[in-house]
Amino acid sequence: MRGRPNLYTSYEAESQLMPTRTKKVVLGLFLVVAVLMPFDLPIIDQLPVVRFLGDNVWLRLVNRALCFMIAALGLNILSGLAGQISLGHTFFGGVGAYTAVLMGGKASSNLWGWGLPMWLWLPAAGVVAAAVGIAVAPAAVRVRGLYLGIVTLGLVFIGLHLSRVFPEIAGPGALGRKWPRMELRLWKEDEPFLDFSRDGHWLWFDINKNQKTYLFLLVVVIVMAWMAANLARSRTGRALQAIRDRDVAAEIMGVPEYRYKTTAFAISSFYAGIGGALFASLSVQLPPEQWSLIGAVTFIAALLIGGMGRVSGVLMGSFFVVTSHRFVEEIVDWMKHQAEEGGVFSGFFDFLISTGQGDGGFVSVMETALGYPLPVSALDEIIYGLLIIFFLLFEPLGLYGIWIKIRNYWKGWPFSY
């Protein structure tokens, strides 16, 4: 069997999650790195541009990326597997988040909240979002293609309006309300036995709250990703892919379209609800506008950049989309230093970067600068937009496609095909 990687002798062998030893080893290494990442590793803080990889601000960003991954996995089931366009994924994230705050939040004179523990509000966030998904499905299944995209877009606006109708849940004004912390406790007022939102001491190590949250979210992401990967190779997953590829043909083969599309909506909303609740809890306080169209576009971008329909692609894409601005900032910062200190490329960097009033360049490093040259925050939005276009034009399979190309190069060695 060695040397013939595409030879499968049984159906079970072909549908395995981990068909090759290389894949197992790579995944194992990846998990080790993922677990060690939040702790200050001695090598990282020596590297020039990625020096920030150990600090707390970076870790908080990674935590956001992890929450984002959970919801993106959900959208992948709806769009990647079942082929249904959704611009309303943030709506379901919002449903989950507000379920969480209603169940776990603290009540006051003008706010509702039942103060229940996390092991109740987190699953409930997913379940309620899934229920809303099922409730929406009859309308959504009836329309297809771009019409569906706009219908789901309508959900976002209706959701934003509902948050204004119920200030008791969404919180008054533009600040929003406070979400319950990530902590495990038995019942309402008990002492938490696992608290992810405070610094503490685990085994022999001091561990801060970001590291704790990271490890907790990592476990959730791994479980959710594993479930998503398994779903793709189950009966349901195959039915969804049949619907994606040709819905009429799928129905002729006996795949009930209506039921499976509803299932896809329910599962994807479940993921969105969990992701939304965790994201909100991580952010402590959020305005309702957080669950807007722009967020939904970001999810689609994550899927496209990572690679539609692939769990690993979605994880890469989400990580990339959420953290890329940090890399842009760091690179611009590094270029600024190069330009100031002088060096081989200092003239070139000086040409690119505007360091102050009157200095020419394409990018301004002044935070408050508006207009031209572009501030860094505008630059990373533009890069993000350009990346969406670039990947669609040149690499429709996304980062996953790039990885496949690299892999096939080695796999087919010494042949180039």
What residues line the site for another protein (CB under 8 A)?
79, 83, 85, 139, 142-147, 149-151, 153-154, 157-158, 161-162, 164-165, 246-249, 252, 293, 297, 300-301, 304, 370-372, 374-375, 378, 381-382, 384-389, 392-393, 396
CA distance 32 to 56: 20
Task: Please state the closest distance from residue 127 (CB atom) to another protein, in A.
Answer: 24
CB-count exposure of residue 221 (10 Å: 0-12, 13-18, 19+): buried
Shortest Å distance, C-beta 237 to another protein: 19
Instruction: Report how far residue 317's alpha carbon sits from residue 68's, in angstroms, rounded to the nearest whole number.
Output: 10
Nearest-CA neighbor of 61 among 295, 384, 322, 331?
322
Strands 363-364 and 353-354: parallel
Looking at the Cβ atoms of 34 and 388, the one nearer to another protein is 388
Q: How far is the CB of 299 from another protein (least distance, A)?
A: 11
The residue among 50 and 162 lying less far from another protein, judged by its C-beta, is 162
Residue of 88, 100, 164, 151 lying closest to 128 (CA atoms): 100
Nearer to another protein, 25 or 386 (CB): 386
Q: How far is the CB of 147 from another protein (least distance, A)?
A: 6
Closer CB to another protein, 32 or 175, in the complex:
175
The smaller minimum CB distance to another protein, of residues 358 and 371, is found at: 371
How near is the Cβ of 374 to another protein at its closest, in Å? 6
Q: Which is nearer to another protein, 392 or 406 (CB)?
A: 392
Return the number of the residue (53 or 304) whose C-beta is nearest another protein.
Answer: 304
What stretch of H or E contains 241?
helix 235-245
For the chain, how are helix, strand and coil distributed in percent, rounded to 5? Answer: 65, 5, 30
- State the minimum distance, in angstroms, from the CB of residue 29 to another protein: 33
DSSP state of 344: T
| In the complex, minimum distance from the CB of residue 409 to another protein, in angstroms, rounded to a whole number | 25
Strand partners, 207: 200
DSSP state of 52: G
* 135-155 as b/e: b if 16+ CB within 10 A: ebbeebbeeeeeebbebbbeb
Which DSSP string corresponds to 109-160?
A: TTB------HHHHHHHHHHHHHHHHHHHHHHHHHS-THHHHHHHHHHHHHHH
Q: Which is nearer to another protein, 213 or 268 (CB)?
A: 268
Phi, psi of 168 (to 5 degrees): -65, -30
Nearer to another protein, 41 or 146 (CB): 146
Q: Which helix (H) or strand (E) holds 374?
A: strand 374-375
- Give the nearest distance from C-beta 396 to another protein in angstroms: 7
Provide the minimum distance between the beta carbon of 132 and another protein in the complex, in angstroms, as a whole number: 15
Q: 336, 349 in Cβ contact below 8 A?
A: yes
